[in-house]
Chain A
Amino acid sequence: MSDIFILVEHRQGKIRDITYEIFGLAESLANQQGTSFTAVLLGHDVKSFADDLSRRAPKVLVIEDENLEHFNSVLYQKTLSSLISKYQPSLLLMGHSAFGMDLAPSLSVEKDFPLVTDCIGLTFEEGKLKATRSIYGGKVNASVSLRESKGYIATLRPGIFPPKMHGEIKGRIVMEASPLEGGVDVKKFIEYIEAPITGEDITQAEILVSIGQGIGGPEHIPMFEELAIRLGGTISCSRPVVDRNWLPKERQVGISGKTVKPKIYLAIGISGAFQHVTAMQGSDTIIAINKDPRAPIFSVADYGIVDDFQNVIPILKEKISDMK
């Protein structure tokens, strides 16, 4: 069987964590299949990345092209398509990230490779790829079989697979010529836009009172703000709260927001979507209040209260002020 390819994800001069998470999985899949794995690095001035990657992967394929400096799905697809034709990998792995989500589905159609996205488990059975996915908001897992094919593409959920640290490997670095002839007009990268920070920095807080759409409406927010102040903490939230404009973006805990590690994370009315959990599971103590006993948040929390927050928070506010 031919190699397993890992697409290296990097942005603003840094390899992204998801890449190292994929390495561990790729290695075990390669061992299972009696094959090897290759890190595919596309970019501009990426020599230092190649050195780093060669200590973790037996082979690093590098294409240097100034047009590959920033991620552009059209140019990445062209480049990968030509590499796939040349090397015929059995599987191409990438993150289920802003990167992979923009690239994997179109490449899969072009190459006629079956695609499975957002995997939390992946294995080969009799040459066919099988995946585990988490569906229905994390309430159910699905085992998925892909049809027989000479190649597959899979995107992996961030924060699931343990990252592979520096090994003793001395991998080969292979430079490939770029198949690109300049940039493209149909899709052009212009610039990065950083989120403005105007209020408090939630990554610095020791206690976070974090609210989700389960609080029902913005009218309850003053109560949570007051609770946060009494606890000596700060208010944060999950994505739906930002989408509904109840709180500003800078308060959002999640993959597309901030990653936080407070001493105490009090999650109220947050169901526990993986995009949220990934960014707060490093907290020392997690306490969840949710009226749905099956909410995925209770699998990450240390302590839980299954009740309507309105029965709990007003009493808590009173008790906390007694505490002082």
Chain B
Amino acid sequence: MNIIVCVKRIPKTAEADIFIEKDNKDIKKDNLVFALNDWDGYAVREAVLLKEKFEGEVIVLTVGPDESKEVLTRCLAMGADRAIRIEEPIPNDGRLIAETLAKVIQTGPFDLILTGVQAEDDGWGQVGVALAQILGIPHASIVTHIHIEGGKAKVRRELEGGLEELLEIKLPAVLTIQTGINEPKYVSLAAILEAEDKETKEMTLEEIGFSPREPLDATIDQVSFPPTGKRAEILKGTPDEVVGQLTEIIKRKKGS
């Protein structure tokens, strides 16, 4: 069973101070830590678990700048067999990234393609499902469980309100993976060192025979901080004082 996993390197913004670039087109990224997109980590782990059951090969694929190699190394350390980095078309949007991925994927045999449901940074949730359409194969998004049997996959999709649906889908297919589908495995330093010996191929857009189309479907005109609107009343003072106020609030609201 040959599985391709498409991954993305993203900046971690959850606990960081965010500044906006002078041209207002994006946030400043030089002060941020980058990592493998959380959803993609689950997808890589799922691919490795399937490989342990069915044998075959796990190939990770990314479209991104030179620095993306560090997340490919992490994927290799997680158990992927080889990695490919494709030069990033600039500018790009989700559709163009899907087309770039398709160009490379079309050249080899595969049984299954996994992506994360969405990327932590811009959260479009578009690439996996668009990729399936470009490749002309079926897809299922927001997948929380995969069971493979005889050229078909029984997958569970996450719906709203705690509900899930069970689907049967013919392979090859694209599945976009939801967080929590498996238990991430600790990646040891030894595994990372070993991963550096595994094959990582680098390809330019010219080499894959892809010339980006213009204009893009979607372009960011500007970014801005959201309007503050209603803000919480921040309790101030020493921890003791703050908790004192908090206790009063709880007492009052509990009784109301």
Closest Cβ of chain B to A114, distance in Å, is 4
Neighbour of A307 across the interface among B15, B138, B154, B242, CB < 8 A: B242
What residue in chain A is nearest B251 (Cβ atoms)?
A323
A29 at the interface (CB under 8 A from B): no
Please state if A263 and B224 are interface contacts (CB–CB under 8 Å).
no
A87 at the interface (CB under 8 A from B): no
What residue in chain B is nearest A306 (Cβ atoms)?
B234
A-B CB contact pairs (8 Å), 30 listed: A16-B160, A70-B165, A96-B125, A108-B217, A109-B134, A110-B133, A137-B13, A141-B226, A142-B220, A144-B220, A146-B218, A189-B165, A190-B166, A192-B163, A195-B164, A231-B254, A239-B180, A252-B162, A259-B161, A285-B253, A298-B231, A299-B226, A302-B233, A303-B235, A303-B246, A304-B235, A305-B242, A315-B239, A315-B243, A316-B247
> Across the interface, which residues of B come within 8 angstroms of A239, CB to CB?
179-180
Please state if B242 and A292 are interface contacts (CB–CB under 8 Å).
no
> Across the interface, which residues of A come within 8 angstroms of B166, CB to CB?
189-193
| CA distance in complex: A183, B13 (Å) | 44
Please state if B141 and A102 are interface contacts (CB–CB under 8 Å).
yes
What residue in chain A is nearest B229 (Cβ atoms)?
A299
Neighbour of B130 across the interface among A105, A293, A298, CB < 8 A: A105
A186 at the interface (CB under 8 A from B): yes
Interface string of B113-134 (1 = CB under 8 A from A): 0000100111111111110111
> Across the interface, which residues of B come within 8 angstroms of A104, CB to CB?
126, 129
Closest Cβ of chain A to B230, distance in Å, is 7
Please state if A255 and B18 are interface contacts (CB–CB under 8 Å).
no
| CA distance in complex: A88, B228 (Å) | 39
| CA distance in complex: A78, B122 (Å) | 29
Please state if A106 and B226 are interface contacts (CB–CB under 8 Å).
no
Please state if A106 and B234 are interface contacts (CB–CB under 8 Å).
no
Interface string of A126-141 (1 = CB under 8 A from B): 0000100111111111
Closest Cβ of chain A to B146, distance in Å, is 14
B17 at the interface (CB under 8 A from A): yes
B111 at the interface (CB under 8 A from A): no
At the interface with chain A, which of B55-63, B73-81, B167-175? B167-175
> Across the interface, which residues of B come within 8 angstroms of A140, CB to CB?
18, 20, 27, 223-226
Q: Among residues 230 to 256 in chain B, which have CB atoms less than 8 Å away from a CB atom of chain A?
A: 230-235, 239-240, 242-244, 246-247, 249-251, 253-254, 256
Neighbour of A195 across the interface among B163, B222, B250, CB < 8 A: B163
Q: Among residues 245 to 294 in chain A, which have CB atoms less than 8 Å away from a CB atom of chain B?
A: 245, 249-250, 252, 255-259, 263-264, 266, 271, 284-288, 291-294
> Across the interface, which residues of A come within 8 angstroms of B220, CB to CB?
142-144
Please state if A135 and B170 are interface contacts (CB–CB under 8 Å).
no
Neighbour of A319 across the interface among B132, B164, B244, CB < 8 A: B244
B215 at the interface (CB under 8 A from A): yes
Neighbour of B125 across the interface among A101, A285, A300, CB < 8 A: A101
Please state if A136 and B125 are interface contacts (CB–CB under 8 Å).
no
> Across the interface, which residues of A come within 8 angstroms of B193, CB to CB?
none
Interface string of B178-219 (1 = CB under 8 A from A): 011001000000000000000000000000000000011111
Please state if A115 and B126 are interface contacts (CB–CB under 8 Å).
yes
B88 at the interface (CB under 8 A from A): no
Please state if B162 and A73 are interface contacts (CB–CB under 8 Å).
no
B69 at the interface (CB under 8 A from A): no
Question: Chain B interface secondary structure, helix, strand, loop or mixed?
Answer: mixed
Neighbour of B124 across the interface among A117, A207, A300, CB < 8 A: A117
Please state if A258 and B161 are interface contacts (CB–CB under 8 Å).
yes
What residue in chain B is nearest A195 (Cβ atoms)?
B162
Interface residues of B (CB under 8 A from A): 11, 13-15, 17-18, 20, 27, 94-95, 98, 117, 120-130, 132-134, 138-142, 154, 156-170, 173, 179-180, 183, 215-226, 228-235, 239-240, 242-244, 246-247, 249-251, 253-254, 256
Question: Chain A interface secondary structure, helix, strand, loop or mixed?
Answer: mixed
What residue in chain A is nearest B233 (Cβ atoms)?
A303
Please state if B95 and A115 are interface contacts (CB–CB under 8 Å).
yes
> Across the interface, which residues of A come within 8 angstroms of B122, CB to CB?
133, 135-136, 142
Please state if B133 and A264 are interface contacts (CB–CB under 8 Å).
no
> Across the interface, which residues of A come within 8 angstroms of B138, CB to CB?
74, 186-187
Given contact pairs A192-B163, A306-B234, enumerate 12 new A-B contacts (beta carbons under 8 Å): A114-B217, A137-B13, A142-B122, A143-B222, A145-B218, A186-B173, A188-B167, A190-B168, A193-B163, A256-B161, A307-B242, A316-B246
| CA distance in complex: A130, B222 (Å) | 12
Which range contains the number of A residues in contact with the other chain?
35 or more
A168 at the interface (CB under 8 A from B): no
3 cross-chain pairs, A with B, having the tightest CB-CB distances, nearest first: A243-B180, A304-B232, A105-B129
> Across the interface, which residues of A come within 8 angstroms of B154, CB to CB?
190
| CA distance in complex: A96, B232 (Å) | 28
> Across the interface, which residues of A come within 8 angstroms of B162, CB to CB?
194-195, 249-250, 252, 256-258
Neighbour of A186 across the interface among B125, B126, B170, B180, CB < 8 A: B170
What residue in chain A is nearest B224 (Cβ atoms)?
A141
Please state if A137 and B221 are interface contacts (CB–CB under 8 Å).
no
Closest Cβ of chain B to A118, distance in Å, is 6
> Across the interface, which residues of B come within 8 angstroms of A193, CB to CB?
156, 163-166
A175 at the interface (CB under 8 A from B): no
